[in-house]
Structure 1
């Protein structure tokens, strides 16, 4: 089994902070990074082109959710940037997800957000008026994403095993909310360590502050990398 790279969440407010952070890694170290809304909206497509020019893989985390034609058109634009992975909200429905797949093409991976890892079951009940269990909602969305031809979902590592059982082993589970043992949980409610996520069936893990805010990001990254691949 080939080794897997943890995905580093580059949740910085500016291009300069991103450049400073990436410069702390050895030249030639090919990372897998997540570029989210804050950075993309601040700097635009150029930020993706820059990171790709350094040889890194990019998960562009924009969580598109709109009418099918609009999402399809947006995905055509993102495909031209050479992103390796991007996503939509599964709540947009099967038709929207199929349109996203068509717009993006078959090269990059396309995944769907089920329930955000910051969402508790109580919040799902009161804010979304979904009265079943959080787990049932996540599994339902995962099945719909697979039906639409997507490659996987964003979910909590705690739900990965159930999703695999409900879909297919090849259906990918990307799990944020990953924290090394002893790290601050922050605003995440459903968290696991890298080794726990691996045992639960996660295919990709996303780690942000434990790496980006570490005194030595390279050491922090390598410790998580080793635990993830152990």
Structure 2
């Protein structure tokens, strides 16, 4: 099974018997903000580092690293390029930048690359903005899966390329928030008297609950 079939799931099927949500894939996300000569944000370079277990499952599913030394040959490395790039048009990429609470419009992703290092599959892609964003107001960025099938974390402070007058604060999320949101959604559905047999699918944006957040502030007088 290829990763994109998991990453691009559109809804979370909730069984009334399930106690709480739990992720099946863990990804460390890294971000680099790309700014143009005027100091406006034009896009994000995104890195996804998959957990070791999931990486191993993909490597074995693709029949790679037959000698088990953890190093891919040149031919094998070519085969993993774009392994998680088959996204539906308009897929959000699990990247959510906001200014004043409003989402920043993104274009479709491009320029996929990948490598296998230290037992982890690491993929990278470029996620451009629909139009340049002047960094005149604080920017908040989160990376999360709304359905919490994938547990994203942002272990490192995002990097900014193109300006030196910006400050970045990484605010760690609450690991218990998403499972709690799941439990509350289940209780709300059943508490409303919904027949459990009919409440077989509930769409809940629980991934944003407790997600790590990067807050970026640039000197509005320094752009350009």
Q: How does the TM-score come out when normalised to structure 2?
A: 0.25
Q: Which has the larger radius of gyration?
A: 2
Which fold has the larger relative contact order, with Cα–Cα distance below 8 Å and residues 6 or more apart in sequence?
A: 2
When you count strand as a share of all residues, which structure comes out higher? 2
